[in-house]
Amino acid sequence: MNRKIFSITMSLMLLLSIVGVASAQDVTIRYALWDTNQQPAYEQCAADFEAANPGINIEIEQLGWDDYWTAITTGFFTDDTPDVFTDHLAKYPEFVVLEQLVDLQPLIERDGVDTSIYLDGLLELWQREGGTYGLPKDWDTVSLIYNVDMLEAAGVDPAELNDLTWNPEDGGTFEEMVARLTLDANGNNGLSPDFDKDNVVQYGFLYNSAGGFSGQTEWSAFAASTGWLHTGGELWGSTYYYDDPRFIDTIAWYFGLNLDKGYSPTLADITNLGQLSIFQAGQGAMLLDGSWMISSYLGSDFPVGFARLPIGPEGRKSMFNGLADSIWVGTDHLDESWEWVKYLGSADCQTVVGEYGVVFPAIPEAADMTLQVYADQGVDVSAFTEQANEENGTFLFPITDFGGEITTIMNETMESIALGETTAEEALPAANAEVNELFE
């Protein structure tokens, strides 16, 4: 063989060998999330991370809410859970008990991660008994969302919504507005003596579901505005108060908007069609929903606005929730997974998320970017941030043990009330006793 050709051949073989070794050392980290709206932002974060960390590849997996949690929990037992996954406050306590999450606290301390960058209170939600089981990624509150055209047709100034009051006895001016925006097939609104509640073509208020154990985007804002809280405001509480008269009265009023008055759809309609679909079909004027849904509502074929929550006996109250990224204890690539989680929780990634304007990132400066994205589009979503920043304006998602069992009990109970099969006064004390027995 020609010496020059031999030299080139050997050089090529050496190069291929080096490339082969590098490829053999590449690590793929599976990362799971459930929100399709957020996926593009995290795909960009993944691309940026891979560029800065050669040899670590991020494979993003997305499933809808129910399928997502089935896959996560099934994977614990089949050894097939993603290395890193988006976690929820309703789920992680049980995962900690099952010893399925990596305690990040030693890694945080080892690497000197600055956790003070997050909005006050977010990191604490993911800590228990000295352990930390996720780095915060975002936060959310709830506001009143409305169809601008429907308000205009009813002669309602959107600014009026910010001053609505509510109470569980007669619903206050909030219920008056709901009635005013509810129309039957003959054009009568809910304030008219001729209103036909069995022939409604436009509902004044839509709700998302029966609300389960937390009622996050359903009844929690109303109930909390009476001074009631799921566990009395105690983080990791062991006593629930679903039997409190304030809660019972709130639930009776809430589902009475449909059962007694016809101002909202039936649970069957909500379950079959979904709150968002009914709203976008032009069949509902107002609803409550979380800040992570802003972009979905702005995708409607009509203008949408965002207003403050009604003022209850104890003020405006929104549940405050936040997601985090957790590492599965069964990962074969702990170091690489931790590097990815650190990046997800960093200003570099959260700035990218803020620029996409889908959610409010956990780092305040990045959250301001989300607010600005919408402002640049002429959309005011400050109702969410004002609620978060208002003194005593938020309360925490109920974080306790036995989340799965409590969810099962309260799903059945709240659905039976919403369907009119029982009353709040009859069902809630018994359900509360059953929930609290779990802690005995």
Q: What is the pLDDT of residues 34-79, one digit of tens each?
A: 999 999 999 999 999 999 999 999 999 999 999 999 999 999 999 9
Residues 227, 214 share a domain: yes
Under a CB-based contact definition with an 8 Å cutoff, are residues 307 and 144 in contact?
yes
Residues 246, 134 share a domain: no
- CA atoms of 196 and 198, how far apart (whole Å): 5
- Provide mean pLDDT across the span 281-287: 98
pLDDT digits (tens, 9 = 90+) for 349-391: 999 999 999 999 999 999 999 999 999 999 999 999 999 999 9
Residues 291, 314 share a domain: yes
pLDDT digits (tens, 9 = 90+) for 215-262: 999 999 999 999 999 999 998 999 999 999 999 999 999 999 999 999
Residues 432, 286 share a domain: yes
% of residues, the chain, pLDDT over 90: 93
Structural domain includes residue 393: no
**17-31, 125-139, 396-410, range with the lowest pLDDT:** 17-31
pTM of the model: 0.89
Which is more confident, 143 or 3?
143
Q: What is the per-residue pLDDT for 269? A: 94
Number of domains comprising the chain: 2
Residues 281, 178 share a domain: yes
Residue 260's Cα: distance from chain center in Å?
A: 30
- Provide mean pLDDT across the span 119-130: 93
Structural domain includes residue 20: no
The helix (run of H) or strand (run of E) holding residue 340 is helix 334-344
CA distances for 42 relative to 54, 62, 76, 376, angstroms? 18, 11, 24, 22
- Which residues have CB under 8 Å from 324's CB, separation 6+? 86, 87, 92, 125, 126, 133, 134, 135, 136, 137
pLDDT digits (tens, 9 = 90+) for 286-336: 999 999 999 999 999 999 999 999 999 999 999 999 999 999 999 999 999
Q: What is the DSSP string of 201-264?
A: EEBS-B-SS--TTT-TTTTHHHHHTTT--TTTT-TT-S---TT-HHHHHHHHHHHHHHHTT-SS
Assign 18 a pLDDT band (cuts: 50, 70, 90).
very low
Under a CB-based contact definition with an 8 Å cutoff, are residues 341 and 96 in contact?
no
Q: What is the per-residue pLDDT for 419? A: 97
- CA atoms of 174 and 164, how far apart (whole Å): 5
Structural domain includes residue 275: yes
Number of helical H runs and strand E runs in the chain = 18, 16
Structural domain includes residue 8: no
Residues 409, 361 share a domain: no
Residues 226, 124 share a domain: no
- Provide mean pLDDT across the span 75-103: 96
Q: What is the per-residue pLDDT for 132? A: 98
Structural domain includes residue 9: no
- Provide mean pLDDT across the span 115-126: 94
- Provide mean pLDDT across the span 191-211: 97
- Which residues have CB under 8 Å from 269's CB, separation 6+? 278
Q: What is the per-residue pLDDT for 51? A: 98
Structural domain includes residue 115: yes
Q: What is the per-residue pLDDT for 392? A: 94
Q: What is the per-residue pLDDT for 3? A: 39
- Provide mean pLDDT across the span 194-207: 97
Average pLDDT score over the chain? 93
Which is more confident, 23 or 222?
222
CA distances for 105 relative to 108, 235, 337, angstroms? 5, 19, 14
Residues 344, 218 share a domain: no
Q: What is the per-residue pLDDT for 223? A: 98
- Which residues have CB under 8 Å from 199's CB, separation 6+? 184, 185, 186
Structural domain includes residue 164: yes
Counted residue by residue, the chain has a size of 440
Residues 258, 162 share a domain: yes
CATH number at residue 205: 3.40.190.10
Structural domain includes residue 240: yes
Q: What is the per-residue pLDDT for 7? A: 39
Assign 275 a pLDDT band (cuts: 50, 70, 90).
very high
Q: Is the per-residue pLDDT at 23 higher than 90?
A: no
- CA atoms of 99 and 314, how far apart (whole Å): 39
Residues 358, 232 share a domain: no
Under a CB-based contact definition with an 8 Å cutoff, are residues 262 and 182 in contact?
yes
**Residue 176's closest CA among 163, 190, 188?**
190
Q: What is the per-residue pLDDT for 257? A: 98
- What residue type is 340 in one-letter code? W
Residues 152, 132 share a domain: no
Under a CB-based contact definition with an 8 Å cutoff, are residues 166 and 146 in contact?
no
CA 260, 264, 270, 272 torsion-angle sign: positive
Q: What is the per-residue pLDDT for 39? A: 97
Q: Tell the residue number behind the tokens 């062991």, with chain if given.
A: 238
Q: 361, 376, 391: which is the final residue of a domain?
A: 376
- CA atoms of 285 and 282, how far apart (whole Å): 8
Residues 155, 122 share a domain: no
Residue 222's Cα: distance from chain center in Å?
A: 18
Domain that includes residue 87, residue range: 26-139+322-376
Q: What is the per-residue pLDDT for 12? A: 38
Enter the DSSP assignment of 90: T
The helix (run of H) or strand (run of E) holding residue 82 is none
